[in-house]
Amino acid sequence: MKALLQRFMNIQSLSILLLIFILSGCAGSSEESSASGEPGKESGKTTIEFVYWAAAGGEEKGFNDLVAKFEEENPDIKVKKSQVPPPNQGDYYTKLQTRMGGNDAPDVFRVQYQKIGEFASKGALLDITETMGKDKSNFNPSLLTAVTFKDKIFGLPHHTDTLAVFYNKTYLDELGIKAPEALEDAWTWEELADVAKQIKEKGLAPNGLASNTTASSAYRTLPFFFQNGASLLTEDLKKANVTTPEAIETLTFLQDTYKNYMSKGNSMKGSDDATMLFTSGNAGLLINGNWMIPKFESDMKDYEWGVTYMPAKKTAASDLGGNGLAIPANSKQAEAAKKFVAFMGEKENMKTFVEQGLFLPSRTDITGPFEYEIEDPGMMELFIEQSQTVPEELAQTVTTPEFSKINQALGDSIEELYTQGKTPEQVAKELEAKINSILEP
């Protein structure tokens, strides 16, 4: 009797388990039937994947807030956020290329302007000229140039940043020097060198100037070429243009500045940290970007400091920084991706993002007032004004398909100019040969 009862209980337990399994299966079938069964669809919604990096807390919050707002305004679209390390900390672009080649592309990705030409020339990006539509005229022409390839637009100019000259106000006050407060009054090359010289000769700092330029960011030297009417490439972008008198004069100025006013470890491949040279008082001037303002607010406890415009010679010019948003040509949800990119480029949304991320808007119709969370928001107004001096020709140069290789050649050549005793004429001749070799069809 006991054995019979045990057998009945076992059968009953098995029946209960079987019933649970059947019910679970039914639930699964019900869930699956509510989805469309199409790629990128989830519970009746279109899902797009957005791959991006966020190097600071402000820009991460900016992306999160705007994605939430987009989903609220577009309830039929879900954005899957894929945050990854920034390009300088990993193999961001290699992984993207692998995914695109394997037909597993995300739908939208963040991209540096310097990479747009490379991707577009390989047919890897979706033409969004129509998406930009009537808003085209509201963007900084240089930034619009940066996302254009063969007269078609392949990315949203999402934001920018640029270079200016930070100065140790404590030192300048002691010298009786007032930094320029208007773009038209920017220091000339000679005046910048004279200020650096006085800082050094008066014993205020061992270095008059520091520069946040390394071999990988050699393109940050290009503003000096354009300030002097020189360029790295010919107008058609097919050949090097660095043996002109203006280009050689620019190389001479860079070499003299390094030799006379900069730390020897602040070369293109040196180990000195330009920012630390400035914050510690070991350099009186620093060429760097707007993203450094919060750091100086927290670290510059022993000195007063300020920021002024990049120097000018024949004209004003500064660096093209910032990032865009692009859609892979093989995005599986291209229409939804276009909606997202257009949303991110809208006036109000861009203003929100640049305020949170401490960037500069790429739209020229965003005039403020801005609510940057820094002690002196006026500093950002200076950078916004400076960003309007980026030449379109510079933007064309740094977004050519071959620019990664050209930038490497430029960095190597300027290192030779700084540390190996080569003359500007020698460097210009060798750099021209390197660039022409890269550009050969």
The pLDDT, as a whole number, for residue 41 is: 63
233-289 pLDDT, tens digit each: 999 999 999 999 999 999 999 999 999 999 999 999 999 999 999 999 999 999 999
Extended beta strands in 58-192, E state: 77-83, 108-112, 148-149, 152-153, 156-157, 159-160, 163-168
The β-bridge partners of 289 are 163
Give the pLDDT confidence score for residue 15 in this predicted structure: 39
Residue of 387, 355, 383 whose CA lies nearest to 166: 383
Strand partners, 166: 286, 307
Cα(420)–Cα(6) distance, integer angstroms: 91
230/128 Cα distance (integer angstroms): 32
User: What six digits make up the tokens of 121?
Assistant: 């020339």
pLDDT score of 43 more than 70:
no
| pLDDT digits 0-9 by tens, 48-69 | 999 999 987 789 999 999 999 9
Output phi, psi for 157, to 5 deg: -70, 100
**Distance separating alpha carbons of residues 435 and 409, to the nearest angstrom:** 7
Lowest average pLDDT, out of 5-14, 329-338, 364-373, goes to: 5-14
Tell how far CA 175 is from the center of its chain.
36
CB 56 within 8 Å of CB 357? yes
Question: Would you place residue 298 in the very low, low, confident or very high pLDDT band (cuts 50, 70, 90)?
Answer: very high
State how far the Cα of 356 lies from the Cα of 372, in Å rounded to an integer: 7
Query: How confident is the model at residue 84, as a pLDDT?
Result: 95
Is 260 exposed, middle or buried, given 0-12, 13-18 or 19+ CB atoms closer than 10 A?
middle
Q: Which two tokens stand for residue 214?
A: 């390394």
Long-range contact pairs involving 370-379 (C-beta distance under 8 Å, separation at least 24):
373/58, 374/293, 374/294, 374/297, 375/297, 379/290, 379/293, 379/306, 379/307
For 95-101, the CB contacts below 8 A with 24+ separation are 96/51, 97/124, 100/124, 100/328, 100/329, 100/330
- Mean pLDDT rounded to a whole number for the chain: 91
Average of pLDDT values for 125-136? Answer: 94
Interatomic CA distance for residues 415 and 190, integer angstroms: 23
DSSP H helices in 91-221? 92-101, 113-121, 129-132, 141-146, 169-175, 189-201
Query: Can you give the pTM of this predicted structure?
Result: 0.87
Q: Which residue from 210, 195, 188, 228 is spatially nearest to 287, judged by alpha carbons?
A: 210
Contact yes or no for 310/164 (Cβ under 8 A):
yes
- Give the model's pLDDT for residue 131: 95
Residue 337 · residue 326 · CB < 8 Å: no
Q: Which of 127, 63, 72 is nearest to 338 (CA)?
A: 127
Residues 6 or more apart from 214 whose CB is under 8 A from it? 268, 269, 411
- Look at residue 38 in the predicted model and tell me its pLDDT: 52
Domains observed in the chain: 44-160+321-387 (3.40.190.10), 163-319+402-439 (3.40.190.10)
How large is the average pLDDT for residues 319-337? 97
pLDDT at 9 over 50: no
35 pLDDT exceeds 90? no
Name residue 325's amino acid.
L
